[in-house]
Amino acid sequence: MSEPPAAAPVPVEERLFSLVLALLATEQGLTKSEILSTVQGYRQRYSQFGDNASLDRQFERDKDDIRELGIPLETLDQPGDPGNNQSMRYRIPKGEYDLPSDITFSPTEIALLSLAATVWRQGSLSAESQRAMLKLNSLGIESDDPVIGYAPRVRIRESAFDPLRVALDKHAIVKFPYLKPGEPAGRTRTVAPLALVQHRGRWHLSAHDIDVDDNRTFLLSRIVGPVVSTSKTWVPPELSGHAERSLRELDALWESQVAVIRVEQGTDAATRLSKRAQVGFDSAGADELRLHYTDVDVLADELAGYGPEVLVLTPDRLRSAVLSRHHTTVERHRDTQPIADKGSDRG
């Protein structure tokens, strides 16, 4: 006789939400066995007479997670049996988790807040958005007004962000392949993360480069492979101020580097670039823009995308970088063989 199919795994968000609801719904609290045997996400794997050690560890991790989300989880010892984990009860004091009485939300506002949390769930504020979602849902207010029929997905950071943030918290040394412009492949860098900062819309890692024994700044978009955390740690002499220092350095670099470009009036390049540049006019009446920048190759990639709408005047390094990208595009198209139109074949 074949065994019944295993239950489909419950997403972690659903399990945490179910746990929060269960702990909010009880005044006297729930024991661990009651939680594991009844709450969605645990009960599917619970064995009444078997080994539940892995499920027990999952619950311990989930307790830490909901506390990190700012949810007040309370433990209650059984009278006459203090410290016994099996008889200990867990609950979320509803009065401490309720919104202030003078704050209310309409169904439309609930829908917009839920949408905002969904949009930001992959952002750097993911923990805050999860906390907001759990709290909004636990209010028991449902949105009956379909204000917006879709939920946009916004990606505001690279895949390297999360493992770097974890390594940063643990002072762990990490390795990752880093691709500098002009190099054929990424080179492995071994660094101790100091800070993650966003500057002018791009994420940067300030880190101590172990190989050169000096601090360096890395653009996350140039990390071209997995970030691997090692068992080694490195604690900097100064434990704070790294983010501020990195931002000051990036600001100074941005202020010191200025590109002068010419753009055709009425083009997409003129519309987009003039919003962040000082605009002037040359003798021919064309728009002449002065653009500050941090990374010459990042700016070259952007300007090359506008094709003939942009002409770089200075600096020479940026002009050469843009021309190099145009030459590469031409060569790639030159190597492409045209596909014959089968409909024009005649027998």
Q: Where are the domains of the chain?
A: 12-97, 161-249, 257-334
CATH class of domain segment(s) 257-334: alpha beta
Distance CA 267, CA 165 (A): 41
Does the pTM exceed 0.85? no
CATH class of domain segment(s) 161-249: mainly beta
Residue 113 pLDDT level (bands cut at 50, 70, 90): low
Q: What residues contact residue 285 under an 8 Å CB cut-off, 6+ apart? A: 265
Distance CA 88, CA 75 (A): 7
Residue 246 neighbours by CB distance under 10 Å: 21
Cβ pair 140, 103 in contact under 8 A: no
23 compared with 132, residue with greater pLDDT: 23
Cβ pair 23, 72 in contact under 8 A: no
Digit-coded pLDDT (tens) for 29-39: 888 888 898 88
Residue with structure tokens 């909004």? Answer: 136
Distance CA 144, CA 111 (A): 8
The tokens of 142 are what?
Answer: 């449902």
Whether the pLDDT of residue 134 is over 80: the answer is no
Rg (Cα) of the chain, in Å, rounded?
28
Per-residue pLDDT, 27: 79
Cβ pair 22, 35 in contact under 8 A: yes
The tokens of 128 are what?
Answer: 């805050």
Distance CA 106, CA 141 (A): 9
Distance CA 154, CA 166 (A): 22
Digit-coded pLDDT (tens) for 267-323: 888 888 887 887 665 545 556 899 999 999 999 999 999 999 999 999 999 999 999
Distance CA 326, CA 322 (A): 6
- Report the share of the chain in percent with pLDDT over 90: 26
Digit-coded pLDDT (tens) for 4-40: 455 556 777 778 888 888 888 777 888 888 889 888 8
CATH number of 12-97: 1.10.10
Q: Are strands 228-233 and 214-219 parallel, antiparallel or unpaired?
A: unpaired
- Give phi and psi for 195, each to the nearest 5: -165, 150
The sign of the dihedral angle between the CA atoms of 220, 256, 298, 124 is positive
Cis? peptide before 315, omega within 30° of 0? yes
50 compared with 155, residue with greater pLDDT: 50
The tokens of 223 are what?
Answer: 């990390």
The one-letter code for the residue type at 319 is: R
Digit-coded pLDDT (tens) for 41-63: 888 888 888 888 888 888 888 88
Strands (DSSP E) found in 145-220? 172-178, 187-199, 202-209, 214-219
Whether the pLDDT of residue 76 is over 90: the answer is no
Per-residue pLDDT, 131: 53
Distance CA 312, CA 326 (A): 13
The tokens of 322 are what?
Answer: 């843009």
